[in-house]
Structure 1
Amino acid sequence: MARDLEELRVDRRGSVRPGASGVAWLVYDDTGHAIRPVAEFLRDFAARGNSRGSVRSYAYALLRWWRWLEAVGVDWDRATPAEVRDLTLWLQLHPKPRRSPRTGSATTAGTVNQVTGKRYLDDHYAARTIRHNNAVISAFYEFFGDQGLGPVVNPVVRDHRGQGRPNAHHNPMERFRPEGRVRYNPKVPRRRPRALDDDAWGSLFDTLGSNRDRALLALTVSNGARAAEVLGLRGSDVDWGNQRVRVIRKGTRAEQWLPGSNEAFVWLRLYLAEVGGVGPADPLWVTLRKRRGTDGAMTRIPLTYEALRAVLRRANQKLGTNWSMHDLRHTCALRMAGDDEVSLRDVQTILGHAHLETTAEIYLVEDERHTIERVAAHLARLAEPRPEPVPVDHGYRPSDLAVLFGDGTL
């Protein structure tokens, strides 16, 4: 029987909280007990070397799945493809729950910024979020399927059209792996990277209110490091002599040295002179906050991602823009890709992409603004009046011209 997805409501029951026994995050029910199947999966997921952030992301996806199963009245080990299908449709129909209503961003949600050309986020689940949700559910049931538990068939089904028989060349000594495209994954529109031109970068830089913020953004735009990688820098990760910094890559957790511009290191010196320097094991980026339970004394704490977002939010409010830290990464990558002296392999190494195809697919693209400018110039040339033909010299006789060019009577 088809469910009425328009009227179906999913209660916000349970929560994601820090875990124990080596698991950074776990999913808890309303009674405060960890949900056992989810805890078993997350423990195995964490043991395979996945980061705390990935464990947290998977925990929230499974909490969403558990809430959905309670709303439709299906046990987790009795789930079918119908539950995955209906959840995908429900996520596309209903907005994300919010702790508080929008205030200042209510008028811009879902619209396109006229300065940057970027779309503001709205209150609905993005296609990438739904695809990630399906991937987490699939991994969850694959884990229990390997143990002979849970449903006989993974509820996240895959289509194999055009790929021949699934697992046609399977090695009998290895376990089966899912193949094909997830059936209920929504399509993701291809997004072109947005880069700041020199004027936009100058305007953004001028609005920053501290040497710390100037150093951090200048360093990011010069080497394309991700926000989490830059925020993870410590005092020993700065090589002043060779003008480079050492980051921990997001996916592989490998250490990698990245260059920095002269400008970035100048602002970095000015910032460290203000805070009095940092120790080799201390976080490089700090901010001052009042300590709880004291008489208003200020103390240094590491700069968090939310605090960095607040820095950009204040700058965007002044400029009427919606730039993000990832736009600085795109800016660095497109600048390098447009330099004939920098190879695509160099760009891949600096960005930390595992595959060269990823770098080529994202950054070897024609800038949309340049394309629009050239087409607009083409249309302007078509609108220009055509010049009058040069008159034929009057010294020729009309009869001779008719023989040469025809008299136009055909």
Structure 2
Amino acid sequence: MSDERWNELFAALRSNRDRAIVALAISNGARASELLGMKGVDVDWGDQLVRVVRKGAQTEQWLPASAEAFIWVRLYQSEGTPLDPQAPLWWTLRRRDRGAGLIYQPMNYEALRAVFRRANALLETNWSMHDLRHTAALRMARDKRLSLRDVQTILGHAQLSTTADIYLVEDEEQVIARVQEYLADVKERAALPPPSPATGYEASDLDVLFGGELA
């Protein structure tokens, strides 16, 4: 997902809750099930970390998240959702039965899918939470400040080869742009005049060295 497409998707979201969830996903690549399983106690405001239970291994792991993501989480929580540290972090308003009105219920995967259905209908796209995870992974993998081991740890892959096989791919347009830049440099260097020889060498010696004829 390009930055332009990401901005379009984010602008199509209708609530601070939805913005908070996708902002977390794009910053650390956490899976939908991992984010939906978070509780209030799983947010470390001071160190800007969130704790998730990893899919498969079912182990807890703290993950970094962007400052922007924490802003959206704070805005979401300021809207009156339950703040019990041991309760689920994400809530949605639903009607329990006829006449009961709207009540808060923990957000589930189907409710999150509905968020994307609404955004995709508006944008005529087909984005999903997996696209956010994939985008986050590619951004990290292409950043020279992060090692492949760093990316593996954040994504929660058991094997380093999984990270390499899936996410160490090159965008064709980026490859072409780099090769074009390389060819332009080669052409520019070829157009430069040859360097002047250092003093102290005989002209006849230089002719022999560079294929010239002896005087």
- Structure 2 unaligned spans of 5+: 182-215
Deviations 1:92-133 (A, max 9, x none): xxxxxxxxxxxxxxxxxxxxxxxxxxxxxxxxxxxxxxxxxx
Q: How does 1:54-73 map to 2 (within 5 A)?
A: none
Q: How does 1:143-158 map to 2 (within 5 A)?
A: none
Q: Output the CA distance in 1 between the equivalents of 2:177 and 2:110.
A: 37
The code of the aligned residue for 1:322 comes to N
Question: Shift of residue 332 of structure 1?
Answer: 0.7
Matched, 1:326 2:130: yes
Which position in structure 1 is the counterpart of 2:42?
237
Question: Shift of residue 373 of structure 1?
Answer: 6.4
Question: Shift of residue 278 of structure 1?
Answer: 1.7
Q: Output the CA distance in 2 between the equivalents of 1:340 and 1:329.
A: 19
Deviations 1:171-210 (A, max 9, x none): xxxxxxxxxxxxxxxxxxxxxxxxx111110000000000
* Partners of 2:13 and 2:119 within 8 A in 1: yes
Q: Output the CA distance in 2 between the equivalents of 1:275 and 1:334.
A: 36
Which position in structure 1 is the counterpart of 2:202?
none
Which position in structure 1 is the counterpart of 2:107?
303
Which position in structure 1 is the counterpart of 2:145?
341
Q: How does 1:214-293 map to 2 (within 5 A)?
A: 214-293=19-98
Which position in structure 1 is the counterpart of 2:3?
198
Question: Shift of residue 290 of structure 1?
Answer: 1.1
Counterparts in 2 of 1:309 and 1:372: CA distance versus 1, 3 Å: farther
The code of the aligned residue for 2:174 comes to H
Question: Shift of residue 370 of structure 1?
Answer: 2.9
Greater relative CO, 1 or 2 (CA 8 Å, sep 6+): 2
TM-score, normalisation: structure 2:
0.80
> How many residues matched?
182
Q: How does 1:398-409 map to 2 (within 5 A)?
A: none
Tell me the percent identity: 62
Q: Which runs of 4+ in 1 moved over 4 A?
A: 371-375
* Partners of 2:81 and 2:91 within 8 A in 1: no
Q: Output the CA distance in 2 between the equivalents of 1:275 and 1:287.
A: 12
Q: How does 1:51-200 map to 2 (within 5 A)?
A: 196-200=1-5
Q: Output the CA distance in 2 between the equivalents of 1:373 and 1:349.
A: 30
Q: Output the CA distance in 1 between the equivalents of 2:83 and 2:143.
A: 36
The code of the aligned residue for 2:159 comes to H
- Structure 1 unaligned spans of 5+: 1-195, 379-410
Matched, 1:211 2:16: yes
Question: Shift of residue 261 of structure 1?
Answer: 0.4
Question: Shift of residue 365 of structure 1?
Answer: 1.3
The code of the aligned residue for 1:336 comes to M
Q: Output the CA distance in 1 between the equivalents of 2:167 and 2:56.
A: 20
Q: Output the CA distance in 2 between the equivalents of 1:225 and 1:351.
A: 7
Question: Shift of residue 296 of structure 1?
Answer: 3.5
SS at 2:57's partner residue? coil
SS at 1:247's partner residue? strand
TM-score, normalisation: structure 1:
0.43
Which position in structure 2 is the counterpart of 1:353?
157
Of 168, 176, 182, the residue aligned with 1:364 is: 168
Which position in structure 2 is the counterpart of 1:382?
none
Counterparts in 2 of 1:252 and 1:260: CA distance versus 1, 3 Å: same
SS at 2:79's partner residue? helix
